[in-house]
Each structure stands twice: as C-alpha cells, then as structure tokens.
C-alpha cells in the first residue's frame, strides 16, 4: 500500500548562480506561482523557479531529478504553500523535499576574447537567416529581422515598433557619447517595461536581452542608466517574477540558451547559431525570442557604432520626446 504521508524527495542536480545565493541565506517563504511543469517560490529576497530534470539552465532555475512529465499541481504543490529553505534543502509543506547537498551551480561561460564588429555582423546575418522559419508571430521576436513591420492586428508590436527604434538610437548614442546629459531620456524603457501579456511580458524580456548583451560586451556603463527606470516600472507593476529575471539580467545573466546564442553570434559560428535557435524556442512561450530581439537590437547598435567610429562620422543624436496625457 502506498504511504501518501511520506514526502516526495527529488534531489537538486543544478541550481542557477543567482538562486544559489539562497543557500547561504536560509529563509522561509511560499510558492508564488504554479504551473504544470514548473513552479516559482519566493523566500526572503530571492525568487527561484523549480522544475524537473529537463528544465533549462538559468540564473533562477532549480533543476531537480523529478521526471520530465512531473505535474506539480497534480502532485500536491499548491500556491502559497509554505516553503523553508536551509543550506541543505528546500522543503515545501510536509510533502516535498529537495536536497541540495549534491547540486552544482550553473553560471554562463564567459567570453574568451573581445567581440569583433565584422564577426558580429556575420553572426547577425546568419542568426537572422536561420531564424526565419522559427520565430513566432506573437511577441517581439520578429523585430530581430531588419525592416520588420507589425501586422495591423498586432497591438503589442505596433506599440513596440517606435520604442525599439528609439532604443536603437539611444544605444548608438550611448556608445558614442557616454557622458551626455541627453542619455537621461529613457522614455522608451519606461514604455517597453511591462508591455505585453504573460508572466514575463515581452517588453521585459526585450529589456533583459539589452542588459545581458551590454554586460557581455563589457558595456556596463551604458546599461547602468537603464536599470533605474526598469526596476521602478517592474516594482510598480508588482510582478516579482519578472523583476527577479530583470535583476539577473542587470548582472548579465539570463537563460543558458540566450548565452549560447549570443556567444555563437559574437563568434560568427554558423553551426552553434543553428543549435542555439532550437534552445531559444524552448524558453517560455515567446520569452526566448523576445529576449533575442533585445540582444540583436543591442548588437546592431554596437556593431554600427564600431564601424562608423573609425570613419569619423557623426553618430545619431538622441532627440527628446514628449507625450500628451
């Protein structure tokens, strides 16, 4: 006879580099969001995403030994269930235990060399070519294609189109004029943050892609003025999960598939770009491609600036805009 009072025990295989900080800061918390194959828990200042053995690696992710078809809701996990985290385990109520004594910590592999703008251009061309049949119509993924015009019924895309163009101008100006007062105009950030439906809105994912790419390129001074408006908008929206992902992106860390794709593009490696595309598609409903739109926008702005600068051409100026209420 099955003993239903006994706890389910699923050791943790891999824990993300941001989530692992909780190991040194034990705390009580609760299950904050629940889905069929994953659930989020919040403990102290930390937000973690727990899943089965095939969950993608990421800064907030906790990859357990649970089977791939594990249905957490059907197994008894409930939203707002109490959570206790110690140095050695995550315990949810009296029925689920996730030992962490044998887990390893995942972090993205850093680049070995500085990015070359010509190589980046080739990588972007290959990414855009290979991605054509894979990018969904929903979300912002199709903005990684030059000259993309949203459909008339794509309300999110129509709102995002001028904002993404403003992002390109702001980024190119920021690379060329890092101390200019005009960089204080981050209206496009404030309007992109929270844009679109879902747990992590498309606009948030796009901004995450921008932050990750700036950090990877070593352009952290460009990304710094973006964090305050992003953080303010995410906190105002009350979306703790999206805020946690954006905070990780501000440190330069996102899903493993995003880092693999970014690395492959920076090195212009066709085979790795093709392999990365499959992984991008598996990140959320559209989150992978929304993030890549931010990655591509940032890389194109950086690459254009790098190629223009040696010729002594004047970079574009950021024009302040006003909106009526």
Q: In whole angstroms, give the CA distance from residue 220 to residue 290.
A: 21
234-271 residue pLDDT tens: 888 878 999 999 999 999 999 999 999 999 999 999 99
Report yes or no on 321 lying in a domain: no
Measured at the CA of 145, the angle between CA 140 and CA 150, to 5 degrees, comes to 50
Number of domains in the chain: 2
Q: Which of 75, 106, 137 is the last residue of a domain?
A: 106
Query: Is 37 within 8 Å of 43 (Cβ atoms)?
Result: no
State the pLDDT at residue 306.
85
State the pLDDT at residue 259.
96
Strand (E) positions, the chain?
Answer: 8-9, 12-16, 27-34, 38-43, 46-51, 61-64, 82-85, 89-92, 96-99, 104-106
170 and 218, same domain (yes or no)? yes
- The residues that bridge with 62 in the sheet, in sequence order, are 15, 50
149 and 246, same domain (yes or no)? yes
Quick one: tokens of 102?
């044998």
Report yes or no on 278 lying in a domain: yes
- The residues that bridge with 27 in the sheet, in sequence order, are 85
157 and 281, same domain (yes or no)? yes
Query: Is 171 within 8 Å of 316 (Cβ atoms)?
Result: no
145 and 291, same domain (yes or no)? yes
State the pLDDT at residue 1.
40
Report yes or no on 111 lying in a domain: no
Q: Which of 81, 106, 131 is the last residue of a domain?
A: 106
Q: In whole angstroms, give the CA distance from residue 3 to residue 220.
A: 54
85 and 148, same domain (yes or no)? no
What is the span of the domain harbouring residue 154? 117-311
Report yes or no on 141 lying in a domain: yes
Burial degree of 17 (CB within 10 A; 0-12, 13-18, 19+): middle
Measured at the CA of 17, the angle between CA 14 and CA 19, to 5 degrees, comes to 80
Report yes or no on 112 lying in a domain: no
State the pLDDT at residue 185.
82
Nearest to 17 by CA among 174, 248, 171: 248
State the pLDDT at residue 24.
80
Report yes or no on 91 lying in a domain: yes
For 169, residues 6+ apart whose C-beta sits below 8 A from its C-beta are 316, 318, 319
Across 299-312, b (16+ Cβ under 10 Å) vs e yields bbbbbbbbebeeee
63 and 127, same domain (yes or no)? no
Residue corresponding to tokens 């891999």: 14
Q: In whole angstroms, give the CA distance from residue 308 to residue 274.
A: 29
Residue corresponding to tokens 């926008």: 297
63 and 187, same domain (yes or no)? no
State the pLDDT at residue 180.
56
Quick one: tokens of 194?
């929270």
The C-alpha R_g of the chain, in whole angstroms, comes to 21
Q: Which residues of the chain have pLDDT under 70?
A: 1-6, 178-183, 309-325
152 and 247, same domain (yes or no)? yes
Report yes or no on 237 lying in a domain: yes
Q: Which of 54, 83, 106 is the last residue of a domain?
A: 106
83 and 153, same domain (yes or no)? no
80 and 229, same domain (yes or no)? no
Q: In whole angstroms, give the CA distance from residue 293 to residue 44.
A: 32
132 and 202, same domain (yes or no)? yes
23 and 95, same domain (yes or no)? yes
Report yes or no on 1 lying in a domain: no
């Amino acid at each position: 006879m099955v003993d239903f009072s006994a706890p389910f025990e699923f050791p943790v295989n891999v824990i993300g580099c941001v989530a692992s900080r909780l190991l040194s800061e034990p705390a009580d918390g609760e299950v904050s969001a629940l889905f069929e194959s994953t659930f989020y828990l919040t403990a102290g200042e930390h937000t973690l995403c727990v899943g089965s053995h095939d969950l993608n690696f990421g800064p907030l992710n906790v990859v357990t030994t649970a089977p791939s078809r594990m249905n957490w809701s059907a197994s008894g996990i409930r939203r707002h269930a109490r959570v206790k985290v110690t140095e050695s385990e995550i315990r949810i109520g009296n029925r689920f235990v996730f030992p962490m004594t044998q887990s390893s910590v995942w972090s993205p592999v850093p680049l070995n060399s500085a990015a070359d703008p010509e190589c980046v251009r080739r990588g972007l061309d290959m990414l855009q070519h290979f991605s054509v049949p894979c990018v969904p119509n929903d979300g912002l993924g199709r903005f990684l294609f030059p000259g993309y015009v949203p459909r008339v019924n794509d309300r999110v895309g129509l709102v995002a189109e001028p904002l993404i163009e403003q992002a390109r101008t702001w980024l190119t100006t920021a690379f060329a004029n890092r101390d200019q007062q005009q960089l204080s105009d981050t209206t496009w950030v404030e309007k992109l943050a929270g844009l679109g439906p879902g747990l992590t809105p498309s606009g948030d994912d796009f901004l995450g892609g921008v932050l990750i790419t700036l950090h990877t390129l070593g352009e952290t001074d460009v990304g710094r003025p973006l964090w305050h408006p992003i953080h303010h908008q995410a906190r105002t929206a009350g979306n703790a999960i999206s805020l946690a992902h954006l905070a990780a992106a501000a440190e330069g860390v996102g899903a493993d598939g995003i880092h693999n794709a970014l690395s492959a593009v920076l090195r212009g490696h066709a085979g790795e770009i093709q392999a990365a595309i499959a992984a991008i598609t598996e990140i959320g409903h559209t989150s992978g491609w929304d993030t890549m739109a931010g990655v591509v926008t940032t890389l194109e702005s950086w690459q254009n600036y790098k190629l223009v600068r040696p010729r002594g051409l004047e970079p574009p100026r950021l024009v302040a805009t006003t909106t009526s209420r």
